[in-house]
Amino acid sequence: MSLKTSFIGLLALAYCTLQPVLCFAAEKDTAGQAIAAGKTVFEDNCSSCHGAHGTEGGAGPSLKNLKARRSGAAIAAWIKNPAPPMPKMYPSAIGDTDIKHLVIYLQSL
């Protein structure tokens, strides 16, 4: 392994440590693409209860600043196996890639 390869690996590790939301994205997605995809999943499946942008609330709570309260893994786990009254939509309505994008969108609120 060359010094250059080691340095690049170290930079990647440091970046993922500092920016876990971006590293959680699907490998081919840019952060902007992942957020846009997550917003679409949200609009199609979540906005009727959590509001058009997720920050208004309604039948479900506002999701603003969710990143401060839950990790990406915790958000994904909640979506996959929610407590009532939140409906279970995984895996029938939304799949794993949808959840990755949705988590990234929710963490951007």
Which pLDDT tens digit goes with each residue over 61-105? 999 999 999 999 999 999 999 999 999 999 999 999 999 999 999
Predicted pLDDT at 5 = 46
The single residue listed with the structure tokens 């929710």 is: 106
Predicted pLDDT at 63 = 95
49, 63 Cβ separation under 8 angstroms: no
Predicted pLDDT at 64 = 95
**CATH number of the structural domain 20-108:** 1.10.760.10
CA–CA gap between residue 57 and residue 60 (Å, rounded): 6
CA–CA gap between residue 86 and residue 107 (Å, rounded): 19
The interaxial angle of helices 72-80 and 96-108, nearest 10 deg, is 130
What average pLDDT does range 24-52 have in this prediction? 86
Of all helices (H) and strands (E), which one includes residue 102? helix 96-108
CA–CA gap between residue 64 and residue 85 (Å, rounded): 19
Q: Which of the two residues, 18 and 42, has the higher pLDDT score?
A: 42
